[in-house]
């Protein structure tokens, strides 16, 4: 379903109507003023000099003053409505977008790219938000001023008004071509900015690697290449704008000269254009000029906003590829009954050409400890992504608790499985807030027990503030092994039926890992799936799955595999202390 990003304006109908209405009031006041000025010049000054009667000067003078105060107040009111509407709209749109992104499946998030998503909720939303402010403040004002000034000019003197019309047409044509050229450029510069964001995101998040490899210069040059592409594009746009403004002023000034000239000629011919009317014609011309310049700026703002709007709408209209079909939930099974069954399951990533795992056939029983081992890239993490239903199998089936995993309620599924990722992920907050993500009702005692099970209790209690110790962005104030233990503690706290450790003990020393293994062993109802590179991490498992290039090479217990699996034996021998 196509979603219009402007739909969130519906919450600000009042502001969207009242704002422009006040702006139109201001335009009317602005258009009346030159008439009054003309009256002062033509009638007021005459009366003052001939009859010493100043009323025709100060009465219109006071009215002009009152009109400008009213005009200013209308502008302020309009500005107020504009900021309520645009800020409120921006907030609503940003929240909706974020909610949408959170609901998408990994497939879509990987396709769009995380960097792009960040640009979308910041830059792109800002641009659309600005367009809303402009809609309230200027979109009606500029044409109203142009048309109003033209009408006033026709009222004053239709012959001179044709000069106005000519000027408006010529300048509009020039602006049209400038805008047509620059909007294309604006879109290319936008792409250049996006690339800048992506590149800097990538380099900054990998800054340690960049520094370790002394690669700063390479990164700087990569960045410079992109900034210079951006610079070149922007130079062209700005040059054009730089020429456009003086040209517009020149045309207006020529028009003023023409009007003054023709008014002189008509004075000679006896058909007089009064000096008051001449002054007001000139001020109408100036108003047209200013309004036209506003229009050209508006077009640039809207060109950018529409491009951003389209990108936002693409995301808002996306449907998550993983559909929740909650036919089953909270199913209970007995110990040693199959909890996961893979039947000829194969999977291929959207961006890849080949199957990364193929024809997987195996069973995992409730309460079992299952190890998965195999070379890097052999498909271990992919199996986990399928178990969690982050992705659906390309062919074959996965049964969870005896039913097709696609029919199991996704929320229940994720509640029942607890995953520790290959890369320990912590969030800004405290140790406690990080752990409680897994279980909102956990007491301090539960948290401490989980920390004990994960061998993290000791180092956490060394902090003065214990579990309230601060966790910085990405957990960067912890060592790799500490991060791993905290994320294991979080998964244990979740108290789920299945615990998956995806290479999550790689940074732990042998002794700590052994203690952790023993702690987990005592949880008999917990199904444990342990991916590891070290044989010692999983040699006591009930079942070990050996992966080789996306296929299962063998399944069995440690001692069986030493006899039957070539790959397992090789790994074992490579790790033997000689
Ligand atoms: N998001 C992705 N998009 C495209 N291809 C991917 C993606 N993730 C993994 N792959 C590919 O799938 C294959 C299996 O990856 P997987 O992460 O399952 O390996 P692994 O066995 O967990 O390796 P490791 O021990 O290094 O963690 C690899 O060849 C990898 O290139
Ligand atoms: Mg992996």
Q: Residue 182 sits in a domain of what CATH number? A: 1.20.1560.10
Residue 478 and residue 547 share a domain: yes
Q: Ligand 1 in contact with 354 (CB < 6 A)?
A: no
The answer to whether position 324 is within a domain reads: no
Pocket test for ligand 1, best of 381, 387, 504, 532 (most atoms within 8 A of CB): 381
The answer to whether position 468 is within a domain reads: yes
Asked whether the beta carbons of 342 and 361 are under 8 A apart, the reply is yes
Residue 497 and residue 370 share a domain: yes
Residue 247 and residue 203 share a domain: yes
Query: Which distant-in-sequence residues (6+ apart) come within 8 Å of 381 by Cβ?
Result: 422, 502, 503, 531
| pLDDT for position 578 | 54
DSSP structural state of residue 479: -
The answer to whether position 333 is within a domain reads: no
- Distance, in Å, from the CA atom of 544 to the CA atom of 554, rounded to the nearest integer, reads 8
CATH classification at residue 508:
3.40.50.300
Residues of the chain with confidence (pLDDT) below 50: none
- Distance, in Å, from the CA atom of 169 to the CA atom of 176, rounded to the nearest integer, reads 10
Asked whether the beta carbons of 420 and 502 are under 8 A apart, the reply is yes
- Distance, in Å, from the CA atom of 217 to the CA atom of 57, rounded to the nearest integer, reads 71
Residue 424 and residue 392 share a domain: yes
Q: Ligand 1 in contact with 351 (CB < 6 A)?
A: yes
- Distance, in Å, from the CA atom of 393 to the CA atom of 398, rounded to the nearest integer, reads 8
pTM of the model: 0.78
Residue 219 and residue 173 share a domain: yes
The answer to whether position 329 is within a domain reads: no
User: What sign for the dihedral angle of Cα 197, 198, 199, 205?
Assistant: positive
Residue 176 and residue 40 share a domain: yes
Residue 288 and residue 360 share a domain: no
Q: Ligand 1 in contact with 407 (CB < 6 A)?
A: no
Domain boundary among 316, 351, 373: 316
Residue 344 and residue 256 share a domain: no
Residue nearest to atom 26 of ligand 1 (CA): 376
Domain boundary among 316, 350, 366: 316
Pocket test for ligand 1, best of 321, 346, 349 (most atoms within 8 A of CB): 349
| pLDDT for position 269 | 65
Give residue 10's domain range: 5-316
What's the CA-to-centroid distance between 338 and ligand 2, angstroms? 24
The answer to whether position 407 is within a domain reads: yes
Q: Pick the ligand that lies closest to the CA of residue 378.
A: 1
Asked whether the beta carbons of 499 and 443 are under 8 A apart, the reply is no
- Distance, in Å, from the CA atom of 63 to the CA atom of 154, rounded to the nearest integer, reads 23
Residue 423 and residue 279 share a domain: no
Residue 431 and residue 285 share a domain: no
Residue 212 and residue 65 share a domain: yes
Q: Ligand 1 in contact with 123 (CB < 6 A)?
A: no
| pLDDT for position 270 | 62
Residue 307 and residue 345 share a domain: no
pLDDT digits (tens, 9 = 90+) for 469-527: 999 988 989 999 999 999 999 999 998 999 999 999 888 888 898 999 999 988 888 99
What's the CA-to-centroid distance between 381 and ligand 1, angstroms? 7
The answer to whether position 326 is within a domain reads: no
pLDDT digits (tens, 9 = 90+) for 501-512: 999 988 888 889
Q: Ligand 1 in contact with 110 (CB < 6 A)?
A: yes
- Distance, in Å, from the CA atom of 77 to the CA atom of 323, rounded to the nearest integer, reads 47
Judged by DSSP in three states, 53 sits in coil
What's the CA-to-centroid distance between 377 and ligand 2, angstroms? 7
- How many other β-carbons are positioned within 10 Å of the β-carbon of residue 257? 10
What's the CA-to-centroid distance between 314 and ligand 2, angstroms? 31
Domains held by the chain: number: 2
Tokens of 465: 């503030």
The answer to whether position 330 is within a domain reads: no
What's the CA-to-centroid distance between 376 and ligand 1, angstroms? 8
| pLDDT for position 546 | 96
The answer to whether position 331 is within a domain reads: no
| pLDDT for position 266 | 72
- Distance, in Å, from the CA atom of 82 to the CA atom of 139, rounded to the nearest integer, reads 12
Q: Which spans in 338-430 are helix H? A: 380-387, 410-416
| pLDDT for position 267 | 67
């Amino acid at each position: 379903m196509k979603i219009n990003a402007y739909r969130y304006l519906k919450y600000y109908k009042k502001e969207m109507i009242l704002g422009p209405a006040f702006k139109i009031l201001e335009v009317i006041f602005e258009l009346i003023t030159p008439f009054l000025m003309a009256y002062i010049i033509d009638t007021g000054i005459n009366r003052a000099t001939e009859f010493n009667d100043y009323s025709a000067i100060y009465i219109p003078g006071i009215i002009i003053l009152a009109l400008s105060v009213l005009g200013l107040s209308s502008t302020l009111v309009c500005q107020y409505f504009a900021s309520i509407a645009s800020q409120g709209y921006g907030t609503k749109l940003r929240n909706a977008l974020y909610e949408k992104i959170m609901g998408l499946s990994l497939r879509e998030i990987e396709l769009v790219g995380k960097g792009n998503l960040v640009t979308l909720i910041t830059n792109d939303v800002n641009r659309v938000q600005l367009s809303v402010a402009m809609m309230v403040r200027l979109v009606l004002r500029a044409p109203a001023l142009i048309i109003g000034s033209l009408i006033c000019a026709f009222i004053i003197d239709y012959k001179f008004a044709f000069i106005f019309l000519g000027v408006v047409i010529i300048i509009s044509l020039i602006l049209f071509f400038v805008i047509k050229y620059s909007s294309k450029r604006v879109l290319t510069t936008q792409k250049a900015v996006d690339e800048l964001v992506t590149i800097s995101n990538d380099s900054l998040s990998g800054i340690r690697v960049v520094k370790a490899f002394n690669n700063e210069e390479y990164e700087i040059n990569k960045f410079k290449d992109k900034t210079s592409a951006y610079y070149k594009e922007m130079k062209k746009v700005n040059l054009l704008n730089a020429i456009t403004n003086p040209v517009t002023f020149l045309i207006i000034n020529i028009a003023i000269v023409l009007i003054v000239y023709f008014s002189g000629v008509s004075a000679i011919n006896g058909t007089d254009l009064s000096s008051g009317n001449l002054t007001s014609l000139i001020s109408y011309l100036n108003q047209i000029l200013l309004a036209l310049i506003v229009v050209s700026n508006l077009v640039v703002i809207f060109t950018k906003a529409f491009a951003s709007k389209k990108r936002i709408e693409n995301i808002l209209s996306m449907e998550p590829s993983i559909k929740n079909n909650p036919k089953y939930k909270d199913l209970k099974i007995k110990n040693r009954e199959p909890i996961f069954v893979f039947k000829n399951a194969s999977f291929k990533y959207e961006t890849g050409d080949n199957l990364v795992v193929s024809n997987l056939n195996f069973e995992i029983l409730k309460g079992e400890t299952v190890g998965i081992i195999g070379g890097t890239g052999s498909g271990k993490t992919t199996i986990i992504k399928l178990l969690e239903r982050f992705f659906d199998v390309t062919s074959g089936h996965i049964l969870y608790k005896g039913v097709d995993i696609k029919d199991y309620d996704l929320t229940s599924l994720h509640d029942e499985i607890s995953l520790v990722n290959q890369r320990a992920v912590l969030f800004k907050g405290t140790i406690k807030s990080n752990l409680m993500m897994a279980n909102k009702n956990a007491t301090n005692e539960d948290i401490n027990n989980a920390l004990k099970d994960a061998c993290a209790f000791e180092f956490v209690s060394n902090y003065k503030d214990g579990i309230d110790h601060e966790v910085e962005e990405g957990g960067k104030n912890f060592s790799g092994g500490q991060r791993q233990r905290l994320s294991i503690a979080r998964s244990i706290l979740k108290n789920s039926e299945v615990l998956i450790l995806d290479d999550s003990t790689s940074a732990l020393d042998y002794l700590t890992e052994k203690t952790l293994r023993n702690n987990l062993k005592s949880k008999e109802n917990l199904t444990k799936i342990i991916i590891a590179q070290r044989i010692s991490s999983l040699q006591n498992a009930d079942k070990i799955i050996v992966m080789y290039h996306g296929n299962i090479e063998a399944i069995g217990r440690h001692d069986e595999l030493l006899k039957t699996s070539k790959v397992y034996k090789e790994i074992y021998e490579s790790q033997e202390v000689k």
